Copies of this chain bind each other. A is one copy, B any other.
């Protein structure tokens, strides 16, 4: 008589947002933006459709929150680290940054978000804009600043910093795509080996020969 009766629902205000964001990340990554149904997100988080709207204004805001939670944070950290590493060797700094990108972003579930953006940006311009402003621009600026610093100090050969930035991020982005992609293009790529191969190429390709 003492109530084994399960309550129809539980009140867990503090945990909900995280649970919803986790569920949303999974589904967005898995199915893409358009194909993710909010009802599924809710169910996966163990709540009803309506509850989701208590925490996120709409689908787009939910997505932005997912990006903020999983990607933007990491970029911010990298930016401050970079600022704090004034006197490190640029070669080393670049290697560190690109590696971190991999370990903290590309190797996580979050890498699926990059794929999603590339895929659906055309259909959801506002989302693309947001991602560009919050993630891409800042990431590229980070890389470019390392390149410029390295060129100033004579560590690197002279290149177009912006173009080289694009070249350098391409392999990491591709790895993200390959990793969180069901397609076999990059199947069987060992991420560790891939990253090292790439870093080696970059290091040699950028290094200024010692006179």
Contacts and interface: CB of A to CB of B under 8 A. Distances in A.
Interface of A: 30-32, 34-35, 115, 117-123, 125, 128-129, 131-132, 136, 157, 159-160, 163-164, 166-167, 169-171, 173-175, 177, 181-187, 189-190, 193-194, 197-198, 200-206, 209
A160 B206 CA distance: 20
A21 to B, nearest CB: 21
Contacts of A193: 160, 163
Nearest to A198: B167
Given A32-B122, A118-B115, A121-B182, A167 B171 contact: yes
Nearest to A159: B197
Contacts of A120: 32, 35, 119
A204 B119 CA distance: 32
Q: Which of A120, A129, A190: most chain B CB closer than 10 A?
A: A120
B184 A35 contact: no
Query: Top 10 A-B pairs ranked by shortest CB distance?
Result: A121-B183, A122-B182, A205-B205, A170-B174, A201-B205, A119-B119, A170-B171, A132-B184, A163-B197, A128-B183
B160 A197 contact: yes
Q: Which of A131, A173, A203: most chain B CB closer than 10 A?
A: A173
What's the number of copies of this chain in the assembled complex? 4
Contacts of A128: 182-185
A168 to B, nearest CB: 8
Contacts of A125: 182
A198 B167 CA distance: 6
A117 to B, nearest CB: 6
